[in-house]
Amino acid sequence: MKKISAILILGLIVMAASLNCSELKGKRKSFSSKLLLREGWAIQSSDNVQENGGIVSTGKFKPNRWHACSVPSTVLAALCKNNVFPDPYFGDNLRKIPGYQDGIWLSMTDDSPFRIPYWYRTEFSLPEQYKGKKLWLHFDGINYKANIWLNGTRIADSRSIVGMFRRFAFDVTDNITAGKNYLAVQIIAPAQSHGKNNKDTDMQCTSSWDDHCPYPPDGNMGIWRDVYIRATGPVTIKHPNVVTDMDLPSTDTAHLEISTEIKNAGDKQVKGTLRAVITDVDNIDQGGTSKGRGKRISVYQTVILNPGKTKEIIFSPDKFSELNIINARLWWPNPLGPQNLYNLHVEFEIDGEISDSTSINFGIHEITTRLDERGWRVFQCNGKNILGRGGTWMTSDLLLQFSSKRYESMKRYAKEMNWNLMRVEGYSIKELPEFYDMCDKYGIMLAPEIFARNTRIPDLQLECFKEHLLEIRHHPSLIHFIGHDETVPTPYIDAGYRKLIQKYAPYITYQAGSGGIAEERSGMGGSRTGGPWNFSPPSYYYGRDSNTEWTKQLRDYASGATYSGGIGGEVALVENFYKFLPENERWPTDKSTWHFHTICSDTWLDGTEEGRVVPSFTKLLNRRYGKANSLEEFSYKGQIMTMETMRALHEVVGRNKYDCTFLLTWKFNSPWPTTLSWNVVDWYLAPTGAYYGTKKACEPLHVQYSYDNDSIYVINSHYQSFKNLKVIAEIYNLDMTRKYSKAATISISPDSSNKVFDIDWPGDLSKIHFLKLELKNKTDNLISSNFYWLSTEPDVSSDFSDLDNLPEVDLDISYSKVKNGDTCTIYVDLKNPSSDLAFAINPKIKKSVSGDLVLPIYWQDNYFSLLPGQKQKVKVEFDIRDLGKERPSLVIDGWNIKKEKITISAL
């Protein structure tokens, strides 16, 4: 950015006045300009409707025996809510719905009832203040094609209304009446080309699900995003944006450029004022009004616009000096700094009346990316390197039933795991704005794949991306685009992606593909896809104990950049098994329905017994931790096994920073209930053992053990140094005899990986022994602790089944609670009064009557162990509203823990 001369700044003060927004509000006419059409809809198959749209969209038509629904909703979601079909999330009910096919994506059978179009119909009236306004009918998401009728007139047909990820707006000023209005939409499903198709052919611009859950038989047909009426004056505003430029490495001054598109939809020339106001987000109330505190920046331009014309208006920092902000509150990814946000409000005023207005939140930051000397991708924020740690986000619900609660809880989980980067998988939907809002709030950077594969309609594919790009480009969490999943776009599509990004968001970087399995960087853009897809023990990720092809790959996997790695499966919590599996299908794990709810219905890999995920996982669990004789035991041991492995996966990444530049696990979430899948948080919003292993490994200041060379490291993810830190390592036998102790003092530099010392193993260890690590500051306060269970045998063949012989421990338990609004915080004090190890303690908050887990739940730590005499205080937070009418119970469970249930006193 060129420096701005003092003379130029003085010359611009007249044009860029600072305005008191609260004073202006009282002088200009304004009103709520958006009418959401969510309630009062009904759907019906065209098979059961003889009339055409010209009749269905009038008051003459009576929707008798139609199915009531709200919008957004897919057809299948609405039919299930009306009990036409059974709950598709339970048991094998999904298989019982007509048209369902195992292992087939983007295809419908010839006799599928969803090949037939479905009608959506609603009635509505306009507010009185809409009289005399320009009226716009908006559809933000239709899957896949549609014919739209309003008050007997077709306003759009399926030749133009096509593509799941496009937004449509129609001028309906002349079609809407002052009284009752009737809207009818005929939806045509995707995946209708033939009936024996798979996920990689005939790709359309729609959701396709890949191998992480079954394909819904309706293809997610329906109105899947909001429908609404907007009332404006003749000039409308679209696509506001703010771009930051800083004089890096200095962040003292941020130069902001504001842009927006305005259109004169009237039939006369218009002269008006376009005003842009920037305010701190924490200075805006829920209604979007300034609270009158904090810093505000307001700039304006006088604009003349001819009828029918569209124009992009730019407020640049070299013409508007207020947009050069000194000591701005920067947005940082988690956990490297605060997620400061600002609000941009843009409005167009004509003769004292607001024609249109809109607002966005944005962050002041500058993200860059480069390929290092080895060809691996590296991300930087505000001039600082970032070690990317995170996972892959999948569409969060099978029937596209989205909620702000799910988005927020999942992103808070990611933040509390100390993640900072996610890939949005290309087979998934183009996510809603609320998803990006939560990533902004919690500091989770995003690298979405634009699509999974090339479609046969590339121009529509590019149009879908353009719509999505313009809607999300202002979010600070959006940092990078990936063309396709494990492949690359055709030259035509690739050039189209690049052109659109360069035109509308040149500050966001791009690579063609995520990378192939074990594939080098060539042609992909500096990354690889990892693995393994079957479960492996912790040492696997350090390249120890095996010379298989997978391990050779993983020696590199702990370096470079990986978009899709993982541990091969996480098992559900036992309380949640009860919610979606019939009792006779819960145990053992070879039950048909059990497998239906696992990875790819457990047919993935090579179809052999070893290649199937459930048998291979079960075999390793039984060998490593002793045979599981019940679902409860299988689930609990599965949490411990996945916790130790996911911890190792992320710890090797931390140790090898920036030899490893980022690692994203496959995957973070699941769109439906699973028995064994790759997600670390399940569909019920329950964190698994893998979640807590990740949370431990990704602590910003962390002490850890290396499985490959027995070294102890301290990892510093802060941009500050620490002096005189004390590292303590102790080794205990199974009988709790201490066999080894070593301490060292270390000072560490910012954003660093630091070897402290090597473990000198004593010669008389029990077959199972334990390594306890502590990191303390100079005042002896505990910063980080870690606890490993290890074997004298090679890790790949370790047998921890003797843990089953640990004596039962009766813990001393007390608690205190704090209520703040709807949030309850409980502090649980635990002490091990025995002479034995209390292993893998698992505290829970349950509903006192039903026994269901209270979810979401935010434990500070879980599955932790206490040595004899050791104490620990652990904090948990939950929303009181999630209790319903029940009271909370504190349940303390664990490997060898005497189970305790304590009903929490009145909240």
**Contacts (Cβ under 8 Å, ≥6 apart) of 779:** none
| 771 strand-pairing partners | 731, 788
| 106 strand-pairing partners | none
Measured from the Cβ of residue 229, the count of other Cβ atoms closer than 10 Å reads 22
9 pLDDT more than 60: no
How crowded is the C-beta side of 376, counted as CA atoms within 13 Å?
Answer: 22
DSSP-derived 3-state class of residue 666: coil
pLDDT value at residue 282? 66
pLDDT value at residue 6? 28
3 pLDDT more than 90: no
**Contacts (Cβ under 8 Å, ≥6 apart) of 19:** 275, 277, 296, 298, 300
| Rounded average pLDDT over 396-400 | 94
- Rounded CA separation 88/79 (Å): 11
**What confidence category does residue 367 fall into, taking pLDDT thresholds of 50, 70 and 90?**
very high
Tokens 């003797």 sit at which residue?
802
| Rounded average pLDDT over 877-906 | 93
Q: Residues of the chain with pLDDT > 70: what percent?
A: 89
Spatial CA neighbour of 531 closest among 641, 447, 605, 584: 605
pLDDT value at residue 12? 25
- Whether the Cβ atoms of residue 265 and residue 334 lie closer than 8 Å to each other: no
Task: Please state, rounded to an integer, the average pLDDT across all residues of the chain.
Answer: 89
| 53 strand-pairing partners | none
pLDDT value at residue 290? 44
- Whether the Cβ atoms of residue 390 and residue 664 lie closer than 8 Å to each other: yes
Range in 167-181, 537-551, 734-748, 823-837 the model is least confident about = 537-551
DSSP assignment string, 9-68: HHHHTTTS----HHHHHTTSB----EEE--SSEEEEEGGG--S-HHHHTSTT---TTPEE
Q: Which of 296-305, 530-539, 563-572 has the highest mean pLDDT?
A: 296-305
Pairing mode of beta strands 67-69, 41-45: antiparallel
Spatial CA neighbour of 311 closest among 224, 209, 235: 235
Work out the angle between the directed axes of helices 458-472 and 491-504 (0-180°, nearest 10).
20
More confident residue, 299 or 530: 299
- Rounded CA separation 643/621 (Å): 13
Q: Which of 30-34, 102-106, 147-151, 530-534 has the highest mean pLDDT?
A: 147-151
Range in 591-600, 634-643, 728-737 the model is least confident about = 591-600
pLDDT value at residue 556? 54
Spatial CA neighbour of 230 closest among 269, 265, 258: 265
Measured from the Cβ of residue 798, the count of other Cβ atoms closer than 10 Å reads 21
More confident residue, 531 or 894: 894
Range in 559-568, 625-634, 887-896 the model is least confident about = 559-568
pLDDT value at residue 584? 95
Q: Residues of the chain with pLDDT > 90: what percent?
A: 76
| Rounded average pLDDT over 256-268 | 97
| Rounded average pLDDT over 25-40 | 72
Angle at alpha carbon of residue 260, lines to 256 and 265, rounded to 5°: 165
Quote the DSSP letter at residue 905.
P
- Rounded CA separation 48/651 (Å): 59
Range in 31-35, 125-129, 347-351, 684-688 the model is least confident about = 31-35
Work out the angle between the directed axes of helices 613-625 and 631-655 (0-180°, nearest 10).
90
| Rounded average pLDDT over 485-514 | 93
Q: Which of 210-224, 474-488, 555-569, 685-699 has the highest mean pLDDT?
A: 685-699
Tens of pLDDT, residue by residue over 52-109, are 999 999 999 999 999 999 999 999 999 999 999 999 999 999 999 999 988 777 888 8
What does the H/E/C string look like for 295-321? CEEEEEEEEEECCCCEEEEEECCCCCH
pLDDT value at residue 705? 98
- Rounded CA separation 403/73 (Å): 12
| Helix or strand (DSSP H, E) at 562 | strand 560-565
Quote the DSSP letter at residue 458.
H
- Chain-centroid distance of CA 706 in Å reads 30
pLDDT value at residue 24? 37
**What confidence category does residue 600 fall into, taking pLDDT thresholds of 50, 70 and 90?**
low
Tens of pLDDT, residue by residue over 762-774, are 999 999 999 999 9
- Rounded CA separation 647/841 (Å): 17
Token pair, residue 692, equals: 């807590």
**Contacts (Cβ under 8 Å, ≥6 apart) of 809:** 832, 834, 836, 837, 838, 896, 897, 898
- Rounded CA separation 648/719 (Å): 24
Percent of the chain as helix, strand, coil, to the nearest 5: 20, 35, 45
**What is the pTM (predicted TM-score) of this model?**
0.93
pLDDT value at residue 165? 95
Tokens 């950015």 sit at which residue?
1
**What confidence category does residue 254 fall into, taking pLDDT thresholds of 50, 70 and 90?**
very high
Quote the DSSP letter at residue 346.
E
Amino acid identity of residue 301, one-letter, is Q
pLDDT value at residue 598? 86
235 pLDDT more than 60: yes
| 147 strand-pairing partners | 186
pLDDT value at residue 453? 87
Please give the torsion angle defined by the CA atoms of residues 64, 68, 74 and 80, in that order, rounded to the nearest 10 degrees.
-100
Token pair, residue 572, equals: 């559900």
Quote the DSSP letter at residue 222.
E
Tens of pLDDT, residue by residue over 416-434, are 999 999 999 888 788 899 9
pLDDT value at residue 29? 53
Tens of pLDDT, residue by residue over 760-818, are 999 999 999 999 999 999 999 999 999 999 999 998 889 999 999 999 999 999 999 99
List b or e across 16-33, with b for residues whose CB sees 16 or more CB atoms inside 10 angstroms. Answer: beeeeeeeeeeeeeeeeb
φ, ψ of residue 25 to 5 degrees: the values are -60, -35
- Whether the Cβ atoms of residue 114 and residue 217 lie closer than 8 Å to each other: yes
Please confirm whether the linkage preceding 448 is cis (ω < 30° from 0): no
**Contacts (Cβ under 8 Å, ≥6 apart) of 651:** 697, 702, 704, 705, 706, 715
Pairing mode of beta strands 768-776, 722-733: antiparallel
Please give the torsion angle defined by the CA atoms of residues 765, 771, 776 and 781, in that order, rounded to the nearest 10 degrees.
-100
Spatial CA neighbour of 640 closest among 873, 897, 396: 897
pLDDT value at residue 30? 52
pLDDT value at residue 294? 54
pLDDT value at residue 602? 47
φ, ψ of residue 556 to 5 degrees: the values are -85, -30
